[in-house]
């Protein structure tokens, strides 16, 4: 066996697949210089290093600007031009030079000068200029990062296919990654249902999350191998490990080829019960890929990404265009739009959100929307207008009480009346509710008569039922819908739906887990919505399920039935 400097990072298997690639370290926020001072006599060479770092940053910024211009994003390209101007600014150079001459390290100097300039700009009585303070900090960090030897640029600057190493990745970070440039993710924080994992799965990118502090020791690694199926990564893999990963990649490719034939079949159990297999989308742009994977509709369109990827709220017309594009792409197939669900781990530029001690138990989802009509109504109006062009449905997130459903439906009625009075055309839209709080599941019989369908959000339902933060990697063993408490709540929801004559889908990540599919179907779920790359396998699994074996239901939901929670804990500890 050849000698290597390999480091193994064990974490959560967040998104299937394997990859080996060069690393890109994403370190947002303030950087800490590794040295504050330099030795006397080295001033000249340290200044030369600074000039070289500026050159590299300018080259990278120029390349990013050019590729944005080439893809028609001139406005974004202008931001990079301003960044270049600051990087080459003579005042910045002079200040850094003065500090280096008094033996401050160039990395500490550029960060300090960047901070001084940013503070000056932020204090200006001009909103536009004040907003530029972050740009200045950003450029100073990029130069410092070059000097320190790590890349601090935003993920939009990712210019070669890489494995991204980060402490954590916010949904807005992942949304900015240029297509095809992320080979894999390895993060210190996060769990299977945190949004970075969901994004990774929908982008088909192998990911290992929640590896913990060991990540910091590997930030200098040149290459990393990721196994998102097994949940581990290897930093600086030796030749044997690289060959092993290449063999695994081949296996995955063969397996995917065998699933090809399921892309175009209808979701049906072995004994013929129709189960719709749909996709979870974060944008209309993903529709084409989802259809190619065999999506029979959209079970969850997360509208918040449209709000988060920009600095201002999208207008009604802008939203209408996006929703219309999505429903048109799917023709007669249903597209279920989930109204804005921010709060928790999702921030919203443009709406002031209070700092909350427990944001997951806070002002989020339908609670926020009902309080801010200026946010909610344009969205509902845009959805009603888009419904004229396809099969649009709408559902409300984070419902805990029937009164919220009644109030939200009232807003839908008001918007319909407004559009009618204005002579604006709109279509029929059926209204559903996400069941993702234990309260909604327990009171499903009260809510069901008010709506046309339920969609169970197992990600939140699990965290609220088991009181286990979905983003906390230490609680991974509790992050499963395969727990009697959760299965019982799903069973109760399905019973209530059956009594009211409405259907039930699952759009949380559990819908795409092969082991859970037979259980969900036996409980009465007739639609499973998941990250698009999981669809072919889901159709295959469903085709092997016997719907008639519903007697199994009692076994799944019986309170005394032991599920492998303790086994999972043991596995985690070994």
- Report in angstroms how near the CB of residue 395 gets to ligand PEP at its nearest: 10
Cβ-based burial of 414 (10 A; exposed 0-12, middle 13-18, buried ≥19): middle
The number of beta carbons lying within 10 Å of the beta carbon of residue 562 is 9
Quick check: 240 and 218 in contact, CB under 8 A?
no
Tell whether residue 457 is a contact of Mg ion (CB under 5 A).
yes
C-beta of 177 vs 510, nearer to ligand PEP: 510
- Report in angstroms how near the CB of residue 195 gets to ligand PEP at its nearest: 7
26, 83, 195, 477: which one is catalytic? 195
- Report in angstroms how near the CB of residue 198 gets to ligand PEP at its nearest: 6
C-beta of 342 vs 380, nearer to ligand PEP: 342
- Report in angstroms how near the CB of residue 304 gets to Mg ion at its nearest: 10
Tell whether residue 469 is a contact of Mg ion (CB under 5 A).
no
How far is 238 from 254, CA to CA, in rounded Å?
A: 25
- Beta-bridge partner residues of 504: 454
Find how far residue 422's CA is from the centre of its chain.
Answer: 37
- Unique residue bearing structure tokens 């970070």: 173
C-beta of 242 vs 370, nearer to ligand PEP: 370
- Unique residue bearing structure tokens 């063993």: 477
Task: Name residues whose C-beta falls within 8 Å of residue 354's C-beta, 6 or more positions apart in sequence.
Answer: 362, 363
- Report in angstroms how near the CB of residue 207 gets to ligand PEP at its nearest: 16
Quick check: 528 and 542 in contact, CB under 8 A?
yes
How far is 66 from 405, CA to CA, in rounded Å?
A: 48
Tell whether residue 173 is a contact of Mg ion (CB under 5 A).
no
150, 369, 415, 507: which one is catalytic? 507
- Report in angstroms how near the CB of residue 338 gets to Mg ion at its nearest: 8
- Report in angstroms how near the CB of residue 478 gets to Mg ion at its nearest: 17
Which residues, numbered 308-327, are part of the site for Mg ion (CB under 5 A)?
none
How far is 66 from 63, CA to CA, in rounded Å?
A: 5
Residues that bind ligand PEP (CB under 6 A): 300, 302, 341, 436, 457-460, 507-508
C-beta of 173 vs 436, nearer to Mg ion: 436
Residue 302's binding partner among Mg ion, ligand PEP, none (Cβ under 5 to 8 angstroms by kind) is: ligand PEP
- Return the percent helix, strand and coil in the chain, to nearest 5: 50, 15, 35
Quick check: 326 and 301 in contact, CB under 8 A?
yes
Sign of CA dihedral 178, 20, 470, 210: negative
The number of beta carbons lying within 10 Å of the beta carbon of residue 127 is 7
C-beta of 64 vs 526, nearer to ligand PEP: 526
- Indicate if 195 belongs to the active site: yes
Select the span of 207-215, 263-271, 276-284, 430-438 touching Mg ion (CB under 5 A): 430-438
- Indicate if 443 belongs to the active site: no
How far is 533 from 394, CA to CA, in rounded Å?
A: 24
Tell whether residue 345 is a contact of Mg ion (CB under 5 A).
no
Tell whether residue 438 is a contact of Mg ion (CB under 5 A).
no
Residue 189's binding partner among ligand PEP, Mg ion, none (Cβ under 5 to 8 angstroms by kind) is: none
Tell whether residue 343 is a contact of Mg ion (CB under 5 A).
no
- C-alpha distances (whole Å) from 251 to each of 5, 335, 527 are 26, 34, 30
Residue 437's binding partner among Mg ion, ligand PEP, none (Cβ under 5 to 8 angstroms by kind) is: none
C-beta of 156 vs 436, nearer to Mg ion: 436
C-beta of 64 vs 459, nearer to Mg ion: 459
Quick check: 22 and 159 in contact, CB under 8 A?
no
> Considering only residues 104, 146, 227, 460, which one is a binding residue for Mg ion as defined by CB under 5 A?
460
- Beta-bridge partner residues of 268: 274
**Which stretches of the chain bind Mg ion, using CB under 5 A?**
436, 457, 460
Q: Which residues belong to the active site?
A: 195, 507
């Amino acid at each position: 066996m050849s000698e290597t400097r390999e480091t193994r990072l064990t974490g959560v298997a967040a998104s299937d697949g394997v990859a080996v690639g060069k690393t890109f370290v994403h370190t947002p926020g303030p950087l800490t210089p590794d040295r504050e001072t330099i030795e006397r006599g080295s001033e000249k060479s340290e200044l030369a290093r600074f000039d070289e770092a500026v050159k590299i940053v300018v080259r990278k910024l120029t390349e990013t600007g050019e590729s944005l211009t080439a893809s028609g994003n001139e406005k974004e390209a202008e931001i990079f031009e301003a960044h270049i101007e600051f990087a080459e600014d003579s005042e910045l150079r002079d200040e850094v030079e003065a500090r280096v001459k008094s033996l401050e390290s160039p990395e500490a100097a550029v960060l300090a000068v960047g901070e001084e300039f940013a503070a000056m700009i932020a204090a200006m009585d001009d909103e536009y200029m004040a907003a530029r303070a972050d740009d200045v900090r950003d450029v100073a960090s990029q130069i410092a990062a070059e000097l320190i030897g790590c890349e601090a640029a935003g993920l939009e600057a990712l210019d070669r296919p890489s494995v991204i190493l980060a402490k954590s990745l916010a949904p807005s970070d992942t949304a900015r990654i240029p297509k095809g440039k992320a080979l894999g993710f390895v993060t210190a924080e996060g769990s299977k249902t945190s949004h970075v994992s969901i994004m990774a799965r929908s982008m088909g990118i192998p990911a290992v999350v929640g590896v913990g502090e060991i990540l910091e020791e590997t930030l200098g690694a040149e290459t990393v191998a990721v196994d998102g199926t097994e949940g581990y990564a290897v930093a600086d893999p030796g030749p044997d490990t690289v060959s092993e990963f290449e063999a695994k990649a081949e296996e995955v490719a063969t397996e995917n080829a065998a699933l090809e034939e399921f892309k175009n079949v209808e979701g049906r159990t072995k004994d013929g019960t129709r189960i719709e297999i749909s996709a979870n989308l974060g944008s209309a742009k993903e529709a084409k890929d989802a259809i190619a994977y065999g999506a029979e509709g959209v079970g969850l369109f997360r509208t918040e990404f449209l709000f988060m990827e920009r600095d201002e709220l999208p207008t009604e017309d802008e939203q209408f265009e996006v929703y219309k594009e999505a429903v048109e792409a799917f023709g007669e197939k249903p597209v279920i739009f989930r109204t804005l669900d921010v709060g928790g781990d999702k921030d919203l530029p443009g709406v002031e959100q209070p700092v909350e001690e427990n944001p997951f138990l806070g002002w989020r989802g339908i609670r926020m929307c009902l309080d801010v009509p200026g946010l909610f109504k344009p969205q509902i109006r845009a959805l009603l207008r888009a419904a004229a062009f396809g099969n649009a449905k709408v559902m409300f997130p984070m419902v805990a009480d029937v009164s919220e459903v009644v109030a939200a439906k009232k807003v839908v009625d008001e918007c319909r009346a407004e559009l009618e009075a204005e002579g604006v055309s709109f279509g029929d839209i059926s209204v559903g509710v996400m069941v993702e709080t234990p309260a909604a599941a327990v009171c499903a019989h009260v809510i069901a008569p008010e709506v046309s369908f339920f969609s169970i959000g197992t990600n939140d339902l699990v965290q609220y039922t088991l009181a286990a933060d979905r983003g906390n990697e230490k609680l991974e063993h509790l992050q499963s819908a395969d727990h009697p408490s959760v299965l019982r709540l799903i069973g109760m929801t399905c019973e209530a739906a059956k009594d009211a004559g409405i259907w039930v889908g699952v759009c949380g990540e559990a819908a795409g887990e092969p082991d859970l599919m037979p259980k969900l179907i036996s409980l009465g779920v007739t639609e499973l919505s998941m990250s698009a790359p999981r669809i072919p396998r889901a159709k295959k699994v469903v085709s092997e399920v016997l719907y008639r074996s519903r007697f199994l239901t009692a076994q799944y939901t019986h309170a005394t039935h032991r599920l492998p929670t303790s086994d999972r804990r043991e596995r985690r500890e070994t």
